[in-house]
Amino acid sequence: MQLIDGKHIALTIQHELALEVQRRVAAGKHRPHLAAVLVGNDGGSVTYVNAKVAACERIGYRSTLIRLEDTVTEAALLEQVQRLNENAEIDGFIVQLPLPKHIDAQKVIEAIDPRKDVDGFHPVNVGRMALNLPCFLPATPYGILQLLERCQIKTTGKHCVVIGRSHIVGSPVSMLLARNAEPGNCTVTLCHSRTQNLAEITRTADIIVAALGIPHFLKADMVKEGAVVIDVGTTRVAAPETKSGFRLHGDVDFVNVAPKCSWITPVPGGVGPMTITGLLQNTLLAAQWK
């Protein structure tokens, strides 16, 4: 069994990005500039956004954090989005989700200029992804593709079973791994809450992507010998003995599944660190495409 070291791969890619920024600046081009809009004070969201801003600083991007009260009106948020669309100094930006309930998140996503939509959530980017056209890939699926690529895991002709059909992970991963590209060219089965005989299906898989958000759901008897297992789960489970007060639990029963695998991602340190990396790569693309 080999561990897919997402932390190491993420740092490697971020190092490559830092070098690319230096080359850009040396060639007289501008530093990529990411803006993040954070509404309210949700603990998870604050942590994620701060990590994104810190990563930008670390690799030499400019970054701008815009914090709005959770009482902000939808109209005011849409105006903020419009200002970022029009601000030539900003290459790409994100609006951190979730948003307060009085705001229509889909409306906000669709207000973002697709050319600055570095989260890849705008329908134009989703459609371009499905059509295999240049676009911003959503960060987590993008990260999964890169884990497979950097570990030189062959995907062509393999049977990949994706568990979970969310719009931000399961569904796009299933599209990306099926398309005629490298990594890709998998036979892909997309499973979800209505799937019957799930264990029968996962036992036929060469590659399993578990993205359903139920801790330790994937058990050893659901996995065949030699499978590649990608664990997207990051459920916070209370753990008073830790400094943060919680532990991240993956969707895979790692202790028992890992011995059967050819490759497996740990949680934490697998897919998670790649998410910010995908965002940083999209921001560079946005700067290059401008």
Residue 187 beta carbon to a second copy: minimum distance, rounded to whole angstroms: 4
- In DSSP terms, 271 is beta-bridged to none
Residue 190 beta carbon to a second copy: minimum distance, rounded to whole angstroms: 5
Active site residue: 5, 91, 117, 119, which one? Answer: 119
Only one of the segments 36-44, 68-76, 91-99, 164-172 lies at the binding site for a second copy (rule: CB under 8 A); that segment is 164-172
Distance CA(82)–CA(122), nearest Å, equals 15
Distance CA(218)–CA(205), nearest Å, equals 13
CB nearer to a second copy: give 101 or 194. Answer: 194
- Cα atoms found within 13 Å of the Cα of residue 144, Cβ hemisphere only: 30
Residue 174 beta carbon to a second copy: minimum distance, rounded to whole angstroms: 8
Residues from 89 through 148 that contact a second copy (CB under 8 A): 106, 122-133
Query: Residue 100 phi/psi, 5° resolution?
Result: -55, 155
Residues 8, 15, 102, 167: which binds a second copy (CB under 8 A)?
167
Residues 6+ apart with CB under 8 A from 234: 248, 249, 250, 267, 268, 272
For residues 230 and 270, the answer to whether their CB atoms sit within 8 Å is yes
Distance CA(209)–CA(271), nearest Å, equals 11
Residues from 171 through 230 that contact a second copy (CB under 8 A): 171-172, 174-175, 178-180, 185-192, 194-196, 201
Is residue 52 part of the annotated active site? The answer reads yes
Is residue 152 part of the annotated active site? The answer reads no
| Cβ atoms within 10 Å of 55's Cβ, excluding its own | 20
Active site residue: 80, 96, 146, 281, which one? Answer: 96
Distance CA(125)–CA(119), nearest Å, equals 9
Active site residue: 52, 117, 158, 281, which one? Answer: 52
Is residue 154 part of the annotated active site? The answer reads no
Distance CA(120)–CA(181), nearest Å, equals 19
Residue 218 beta carbon to a second copy: minimum distance, rounded to whole angstroms: 16
User: Which positions are catalytic?
Assistant: 52, 96, 119
Provide the binding-site residues for a second copy, judged by CB under 8 A.
106, 122-133, 156-157, 159, 165, 167, 171-172, 174-175, 178-180, 185-192, 194-196, 201
